[in-house]
A and B are shown apart, each in its own frame.
Chain A
Amino acid sequence: MSYIAAIDQGTTSSRCIVFDQSGGIVSVAQREHRQIFPKPGWVEHDASEIWTNVQSVVRDALAHASLSYTDIAAFGITNQRETTVVWDKATGEPVHNAIVWQDTRTDALIKSLGDQNRFRERSGLPLATYFSGPKLRWLLDNVSGLRERAERGEVLFGTMDTWLIWNLTGRHVTDVTNASRTMLMNLETLDWDPELVSAMDVPRSMLPEIRSSSEVYGNYEGVPVASALGDQQAALFGQTCFEAGEGKCTYGTGAFLLINTGDKPVQSANGLLTTVGYKIGDEPAAYALEGAVAVTGALVQWFRDKVGLISSAAEIETLARTVDDNGGAYFVPAFSGLFAPHWRSDARGVIAGLTGYISRGHLARAVLEASAWQTREVVDAMNADSGVDLTTLRVDGGMTANNLLMQFLSDVLDVPVVRPIVAETTCLGAAYAAGLAVGYWSSTDELKANWHKAAEWEPSMEPAARDKGYRKWKKAVERTVGWMDEDDD
């Protein structure tokens, strides 16, 4: 019997999951990496540390199931998106820490580039600190001598997929989904857009070749490396959302609602992103509308690591259950500004409604509820864009282990929330795409048959309570915007 190994290079950790033909998990290995916060608003990762971690989780995942490379039919890759790294072509050494997607250092640069919608039609994206192109530009402007080296062809740019594939196979490639987050790719041609590249002022020669999401890029230890998808697109794929109108929301560091819109990019009038969903080999690409929320699980992690009221992420539920409600407290975690549907980089976090009554249990509730209310905002935007109301929300990701959150989510959306039998849909999607490329699975229909409902939460909140909660949430959001001033850095 052979297996597919998926490598998920996430924001908080890297993991490798080995799947069998039914999509069942055979083995897991995971390793967290350091979150480097050099200044307020700055977030970095050490790309070399990540590459070391990826090698060891691959080794460990195989060892845990007593497998060798010959048992693996293909590797699939999925990754935190937009995180940007530049490295020396000759030595493979990164020239700087990777700049993580949540990082807001490009704020001033973004403002100088003009109107927020300037690149929207070509790239599908509003001008925001979130995307890779501006991060690359920042490196070129700020790492001494880098622009000259780039122009001499001595350094390469990549998102984490590119960094891993280059290290695994020696090829300098990216896939359409990751490329669609750089703000440098044209959504129609699926190639680097000369106008975008020149507006961002980055040398074309350091950009990787854009390939499909499901094809053999090269080999590692004799095993084909056969897929690359941004983590959210991989989750869409893992949830088998292959038809227009099908979608999901993944809860990890942030939360990302993606709906497949078929083979045409659809522009949003309500603050959603237009992005590539996936592209299987030579088939036409599938596009998606996306509601990206920057901070959900990251708030739980912050509560654990920086506030120290809990010792593990799961304990937030225990603490939250020590009280019956949020006591009137609302937490808007605009740590990196606000993403969808607001796109306000001048916003910063707020805890609103504080009184002497508020205990740590209430704060824990407010932390969890923030994930649900932020989802409500992007679901409302999605409903407005599509003209059809969502009837069920398919969820996945690490936070779906949190029952209190899933119930509250169903309550505030007023629709059932459904979790599939593999919560690790990000890895599963990368495995599926790789398996299709090497013929391990024959078709997307075969994959669809693997999807099963593992849990379902039904709404049970009084409409008046829901409306009041949402009203308060919106008031709290209003209080986050305009916080940053010109002299803040």
Chain B
Amino acid sequence: MPGPIQSIQRAAEVLKLLAHGGAHQLSVGEISRALDLPKPTVHGILRTLHEVGFVEQPVEGGKYRLGAALFQIGTSYLDGNELRAKALNWSDSLAMRAREAVRIGVLHGKHVLVVHHVFRPDNSRQTLDTGALLPWHATALGKALVAFGEWPDGELRRFTRHTLDEAGLRLALDQALVRDWAYDLHELVEGEASVAAPIRDGRGAVVGAIGVSGPVERLCEAPDQPPRLELVSYVREAARSISRELGGLSW
């Protein structure tokens, strides 16, 4: 067995240093001082790590931080509080344009966890339901998330006569995958509909979904029609703006 490879050891040291305490950004000089390595060596290591995406340099000639590719090997988890903070402006704009309530959800087992909720902008009395759990299979948010993820285990409870069964759901998910948006029509509550689109992070993974919901007569042309295309485009635009905020799309 050959001995340990020094350059890999050193690269690991650099990564650990950058990871210490989270989103730390460090300059070549700082790393070289901390690890007691010559600057050119550190520079070489960083250049290679940069090439494979394990480190990033947000400003050219500036400091380094851990790169998106590194997280790809880890988990695809995005802090829900982080998502809310990044989405705030765009979810507000969506609520204003759609004149409906907006929710952002992440998958949580077989449920959608609501991480953000913006009231319908009519100053009526509404209750914040951040933290609530919604069934994935009867909501647009859930379908938009599962279409790009794994099918959650568990029974598909029927809430109304319109709640889809497994076959119907598989079709709906295929459609969502192609269209990049999903909807529900009377499936959770009779007379209500919702539209949602996926939110992507810096490496293109779906980390959440944003959508609007409301009465069928406001969201759809007719009670048996999917939500109006204008609404769909507002929702998709908001999803794209948030994805951009997360580094998932370029401008």
Contact = CB atoms under 8 A, between A and B. Distances in A.
Interface of A: 17, 22-25, 28, 60, 63-64, 304, 308-315, 317-318, 398, 400-403, 421-424, 452-457
Q: Chain B CB within 10 Å — which of A17, A317, A401, A457 has the most?
A: A401
Interface of B: 20-24, 79-82, 84-86, 88-90, 92-93, 95-97, 117-119, 121-123, 126-128, 130-131, 244, 251
A22 B96 contact: yes
A453 B118 CA distance: 9
A463 B118 CA distance: 29
Nearest to B86: A314
Nearest to A309: B21
A452 B81 contact: no
Nearest to B90: A25
B90 A452 contact: no
A23 B93 CA distance: 9
Nearest to A317: B81
Nearest to B118: A454
A23 B95 CA distance: 12
Centre residue among B90, B92, B130 by max chain A CB count within 10 A: B92
Contacts of B244: 64
B123 A315 contact: no
A86 B90 CA distance: 38
A312 B23 contact: yes
Given A310-B22, A402-B81, A64 B130 contact: no
13 contacts: A25-B92, A28-B89, A304-B22, A309-B21, A311-B23, A312-B22, A312-B85, A314-B85, A315-B22, A315-B79, A318-B80, A403-B130, A421-B95
Contacts of B92: 25, 421-423, 454
Contacts of B130: 403
Nearest to A308: B21
Given A314-B82, A403-B84, A455 B119 contact: yes
Nearest to B83: A314
A24 B97 contact: yes
A12 to B, nearest CB: 14
Helix, strand, loop or mixed for chain A's interface?
Answer: mixed
A401 B251 CA distance: 24
A456 B89 CA distance: 17
Contacts of B117: 455
A421 B85 CA distance: 14
B22 A311 contact: yes
Contact of A421 (B80, B121, B128, B251): B121
A419 to B, nearest CB: 9
Contacts of A24: 93, 96-97
A60 B251 CA distance: 9
Given A315-B82, A421-B92, A456 B97 contact: no
A265 B123 CA distance: 32
Contact of B93 (A25, A64, A315, A318): A25
Contacts of A311: 21-24
A86 to B, nearest CB: 28
Given A25-B90, A452-B119, 20 more contacts: A17-B89, A24-B96, A24-B97, A25-B92, A25-B93, A64-B251, A304-B23, A308-B24, A311-B24, A312-B23, A314-B86, A318-B79, A400-B88, A403-B130, A421-B92, A421-B96, A422-B89, A423-B92, A452-B122, A455-B128
B19 to A, nearest CB: 9
A24 B99 CA distance: 12
| Residue among B20, B79, B81, B86 with max Cβ neighbours from chain A (10 Å) | B81
Q: Which of B79, B123, B130 has the most CB of A within 10 A?
A: B79
Nearest to A320: B81
Contact of A308 (B22, B80, B121, B131): B22
B251 A63 contact: yes
A423 B22 contact: no
Contacts of B84: 314, 401, 403
A425 B123 CA distance: 17
Contacts of A403: 81, 84, 128, 130-131
B96 to A, nearest CB: 5
A457 B126 CA distance: 10
B118 A314 contact: no
B33 to A, nearest CB: 17
Contacts of A22: 96
A422 B91 CA distance: 10
Contacts of B123: 452-453
A171 B140 CA distance: 53
Nearest to A63: B251
Nearest to B122: A452
A453 B84 CA distance: 17
B79 A308 contact: no
B79 A314 contact: yes
A304 B85 CA distance: 15
A25 B81 contact: no
B119 to A, nearest CB: 5
Contacts of A401: 81, 84-85, 88
A400 B93 CA distance: 16
Contact of A314 (B81, B97, B121, B126): B81
